Chains A and B, each alone.
Chain A
Amino acid sequence: MMRVIYVLWLRQLKKYGRSKSRVVGAVGQPLLFLLALGYGLGSVFARAGKGDYIQFLVPGVIVQTILFASIFWGVNILFDRMLGFLKELLVAPVPRVVILLGSVLGGATTAFLQGVLVLLVSLAIGFRPYSLPLTLVAFAIMAMLAIGITSLGAGLGSIIDNMPGFQAVNNFIIFPLYFLSSSLYPLDSAPPALKIIAMFNPLSYAVDALRGTLINQSHYGLATDFAALGITMIALIAFGTICFRRIQT
């Protein structure tokens, strides 16, 4: 079984590495956010007494990178269904859960690596993490986020039949989730309505956890963040598994 999981994981990495445009596309957008917002709004943020906006923004932008890379990875499952390759996997003497596991781990790895890449670029433009041990915890949070959202992407790729459907999900679910989390602005000074929405948005806890570990600023506290993130991850894995198991050819 480990060998099967390994080759399926490797397949995702190979496909990813062979498509340069995917890498550039996935990292380009978050960097644009970081540079445009970071430098554009930095002085306003500082004048409001909130400190360095780049410091504040980097965790949110890393979440953004992983979020969009992971969800969009689900298109691979859609393509495998469309182009017929999935049949090869579905008739193989291997349980479907194992097929899904190997593929999701591969997708999550690529999303995670993109997050790391954005973190490295941030370091180059002046971002300074709070401490090394906590940065390692941040990597664990990034991995959890990647696995959870990749499972969601796999689930969507299993039930959606075309690309426009995927884009619709992106526009109507993922973008609002992102903007209504604390990724771009601090929750402490946000209006109450926004605070309440953010509280029910699982993504807020991922952003908060990264902020807690990378710049030592947490709104909810790391324990709450981990609990919320863990529960969400399990729910998303369950969702992905149920959808993938129901695929009919």
Chain B
Amino acid sequence: MESTNFPTIAVDHVTKSFGDVMAVDDISFEVYPGEIFAFLGPNGAGKSTTIKMLTTLLRPTSGALRLAGKDVVREQAAARKAFGVVFQDPSLDDELTAYENMELHAVLYGLPRAMMAERIDMLLKLVELDARRGSYVKTFSGGMKRRLEIARGLLHEPQILFLDEPTLGLDTQTRNVLWAYVRELSRDRKMTIFFTTHYLEEAEDIADRIGIVDRGKMVAMGRVDELRQQTGTDSLEGAYLALTGKGIRDEEVSAGDNMRAHMRARRRS
């Protein structure tokens, strides 16, 4: 059934190297409209690098990435309009209100003025932040910020939604609500969902298909039962550990990641 569709995400023999280090080594995969795809792997496996390339923050060293048929390097603006993204770290302006954050996004994505207010209202209601629309984002909890980011990511009606560890640090209630939205989006709007997580049970519950990366390579891809079968294990966790080993990984992080981690630690204290 999937192969009759046109893929919304097409990654074709993509590599990315930083000096001598091959962060992503010849990865190819496709994701289809309405599909929920989980992208798993140990720290430092190449997940973040792949997401950065998909969201146009990094250029691939070789290979091609297409979003809704648009090449992320050569047709960058069109590719950017095709996706919404919720990054691992919040990317809201704390000193603006929830509504102002939405408004700014609407203008950046060229939403016609006439439909702007209506869409923002609708989405703020959807994520149940309507009552707090005029509050500064700095007064929001982690869960509220994540919900606002999702609403913002949906504002320009993208065909693809990237979620990078969207449930990290959220309580169970908020996580359930979040995944319920995501299911709805994929089912009702045929939106393609691409997410990463370290919680394997989430991937097992939510994803139609799972890709597992390790050391820059895609080591397995398929439905949960296929992965279990392929590895002769009886759970996703079993399959995951069989594919990626049991050792702990150290991740190379960029200066920017370090800087943000440092800021988060300081804000908490």
Near A by CB (< 8 A), chain B positions 75-99 give 76-78, 80-81, 85, 87, 89-96
Q: Pick out which of these stretches binds chain A: B196-204, B210-218, B256-264.
A: B256-264
Min Cβ gap A73→B in Å is 14
Asked if A20 lies at the interface with its beta carbon under 8 angstroms from chain B, I say: no
Question: Is there a chain A Cβ closer than 8 Å to B242's Cβ?
Answer: no
Give the distance in Å from the alpha carbon of A78 to the alpha carbon of B115 in the complex.
Answer: 33
> Which one, A40-48, A84-92, A179-187, is touching chain B?
A84-92
Chain A residues whose CB sits within 8 angstroms of the CB of B110 once the complex forms: 93
Do B96 and A84 touch (CB < 8 A)?
Answer: no
Is B50 part of the contact surface with A, judged by Cβ < 8 Å? Answer: no
CB-CB nearest in chain B for A87: B91
- Known contacts A3-B107, A93-B80, A249-B254; A87/B57 CB under 8 A: yes
Quick one: closest A residue to B85, CB to CB? Answer: A91
Cross-chain contact of A93 among B81, B96, B260 (Cβ < 8 A): B81
User: Which residues on the A side are within 8 Å of B94 (C-beta)?
Assistant: 83, 85
Of residues B85, B254, B256, B259, which shows the largest number of chain A Cβ atoms within 10 Å of its Cβ? B256
Contacts of B254 in A (CB 8 A): 248-249
B259 touches A11 (CB 8 A): no
Known: A15-B96, A94-B108, A249-B254. A85 touches B91 (CB 8 A): yes
A side interface size, CB within 8 A: 27
B122 lies within 8 A of chain A by Cβ: no
Q: Identify the closest chain B residue to A86 (Cβ).
A: B91
State whether the Cβ of A4 lies closer than 8 Å to any Cβ in chain B: yes
Q: How large is the interface on B (under 10, 10 to 19, 20 to 34, 35 or more residues)?
A: 35 or more
Known contacts A3-B107, A248-B254, A14 near B55 by CB under 8 Å: no
- CA–CA, A83 to B255, complex, Å? 13
Residue pair B255, A161 in contact (C-beta under 8 Å): yes
Q: Is the CB of B78 within 8 A of A93?
A: yes
Contact of A7 among B52, B80, B104 (CB under 8 A): B104
With A14-B100, A91-B55, A249-B57 as known contacts, state yes or no: A82 contacts B259, CB within 8 Å: yes
Return the chain A residue nearest B107 by Cβ: A7
Known A4-B107, A87-B91: A161·B78 in contact at CB below 8 Å:
no
Q: Indicate whether A195 reaches chain B with its CB closer than 8 angstroms.
A: no
Whole-angstrom distance between the Cβ of A147 and the nearest chain B Cβ: 22
A51-97 residues at the B interface, CB under 8 angstroms: 81-94
Chain B residues lying within 8 Å of A249, measured Cβ to Cβ, are 52, 57, 254, 256
Contacts of B91 in A (CB 8 A): 84-88
| A7 with B77: CB separation less than 8 A | no
- For residues 155 through 173 of chain A, which have their beta carbon under 8 Å from a beta carbon of chain B? 161-162
Residues of the A chain whose Cβ atoms lie less than 8 Å from the Cβ of B85: 91
Report the minimal beta-carbon distance from B231 to chain A, rounded to whole angstroms: 35
Please give me the residue from chain B that is nearest to A1 by CB atom: B110
Bound-state CA distance A152–B85 (Å) is: 31
Which residues of chain B are within 8 angstroms of A85 by Cβ–Cβ distance? Answer: 91-94
For B87, what are the chain A residues with a Cβ–Cβ distance below 8 Å? 84, 87
Report how far A93 CA is from B107 CA in the complex, Å.
10
Given A93-B110, A162-B259, A84:B103 Cβ within 8 A = no
Q: Is the CB of A161 within 8 A of B259?
A: yes
In the complex, the answer to whether B108 meets A18 with C-beta atoms within 8 Å is no
- Please determine whether B260 and A91 come into contact, CB atoms closer than 8 angstroms: no
Given A92-B108, A93-B77, A18 and B95 contact (CB-CB distance below 8 Å):
yes
B56 at the interface (CB under 8 A from A): yes
Q: How long is the Cα–Cα vector from A8 to B80 in the complex, in angstroms?
A: 19
3 closest cross-chain pairs (CB), A and B: A92-B108, A93-B80, A93-B77
Q: Can you report 6 A-B residue pairs in the complex whose CB atoms are below 8 A from each other? A: A85-B92, A87-B57, A88-B105, A88-B152, A161-B259, A249-B57
Interface residues of chain B, those whose CB is within 8 Å of chain A, are 52, 55-58, 76-78, 80-81, 85, 87, 89-96, 100, 103-105, 107-110, 152, 254-256, 259-260, 263
A interface list, Cβ under 8 A from B: 3-4, 7-8, 11, 14-15, 18-19, 81-94, 161-162, 248-249
- 4 extra interchain contacts, Cβ-Cβ under 8 A, other than A84-B90, A92-B109, A249-B254? A84-B87, A93-B76, A94-B77, A248-B58
